[in-house]
Amino acid sequence: MAARPRLDSPRLSSARWTNNNNSSIILRPSTALLGFPVSQLRITEIFHSLQGETATMGLPTVFVRLTGCPLRCQYCDTAYAFSGGTQMAIDEILTDVARYSPRYVTVTGGEPLAQLGCITLLARLCDLGYSVSLETSGAVDVSDVDARVVKVMDLKTPGSGESHRNLYANIEHLGAEDQVKFVICDRGDYEWARMKLDEYDLCPRVAEVLFSPSYDQLEARELAEWVLEDRLRVRVQIQLHKLLWGDERGR
C-alpha cells in the first residue's frame, strides 16, 4: 500500500495542502478562496446535453461547469474554464438548472471542489431530488461531498503530467455508487492504471472503473484490445459528445 498523503488541513478551508510527494498544492487565486461567500460560485457555463461519459452515458443531463482548476493536465479540453466565468449565487444556479427540468445534473469544471461553495451547491441539488454527479480531478479532498452525490473521480496517470497531484486518501471516501476514471495516454499509462487497480482494490470498491483513451493520443481500439487481453473488469469509454459534436463548447 502506498504511503498515505498528509493533509495540512482536514477540510478545504486552507489554500495549501500537501500530496504524497510532500509537495504543496496551492489553489490559484483565480479558482477560489478569493473571499467570496460560499453561497456564491464562479460559473463558466450551464448547459443541457447528453452525458458523454460514465455509467449514465447517453442520458440527457444538465452540466454546471465551475470556473478554475489548480491542475494543468497536458490533454485538458476545458482550458477555457481555467479563468473568467460569472459569479452567481447558488439560488441563481438552481433556477438555471430547473429551466431544463432534468433528472440528471453533473457538476464539473475545471475542478469544482476548488471553490468552497461547491459542497453547498451539491447538497442543494440533491435536496431538490436530482440525480447528482460530481466530476473531480482526484487532487482535492472529497470527504465533505454529500453522500447522495455520485463521485466520478480521476486518478491522474503519468501521461497527464499531473499524477503527483493524486490525493490517494480520497479513495477511502469512495463508495459503491462512485466511479474512478483513468485517462490513458499510452501503454505506460495503461500499465500504471492496472497497477493502481490492484494496489487499491478498485474494481470491487466502486460501481465502475472507467478507462478512457486520451483524445487524439491513443486509439480507442488499441485500449479495448489491451483490456480484453488482460480480462480487466473495467469499462472502456469513448467520449460520446465528441463523436456527436467534436470539440464544440457547451456540448
Rank residues 77 and 148 by Cβ distance to ligand SF4 and give the closer one: 77
Minimum CB separation of residue 68 from ligand SF4 in Å reads 9
Please give, one letter per residue, the 3-state secondary structure of 59-80: CEEEEEEECCCCCCCCCCCCHH
Rank residues 100 and 215 by Cβ distance to ligand SF4 and give the closer one: 215
- Out of 111, 141, 178, 189, the only residue in the binding site for ligand SF4 (CB under 6 A) is 111
If one asks whether residue 78 binds ligand SF4 (CB under 6 A), the answer comes out as yes
Q: Which stretch binds ligand SF4 (CB under 6 A): 34-42, 107-115, 190-198, 199-207?
A: 107-115
Question: Which distant-in-sequence residues (6+ apart) come within 8 Å of 101 by Cβ?
Answer: none
Contact (CB, 8 A) for 40 and 173: no
Q: How many residues in the shown chain lie near ligand SF4 by CB under 6 A?
A: 10
Distance, CA of 53 to CA of 76 (rounded, Å): 15
If one asks whether residue 109 binds ligand SF4 (CB under 6 A), the answer comes out as yes
Of 115-144, binders to ligand SF4 (CB under 6 A) are 137
User: ∠ CA(209), CA(108), CA(218), 5° rounding?
Assistant: 50
Distance, CA of 45 to CA of 27 (rounded, Å): 21
Q: Give the x/- contact pattern for ligand SF4 in 50-69, rule: CB under 6 A.
A: -------------------x
If one asks whether residue 114 binds ligand SF4 (CB under 6 A), the answer comes out as no
CB atoms within 10 A of CB 116: 18
Positions touching ligand SF4 (CB under 6 A) are: 69, 71-73, 76, 78, 109-111, 137
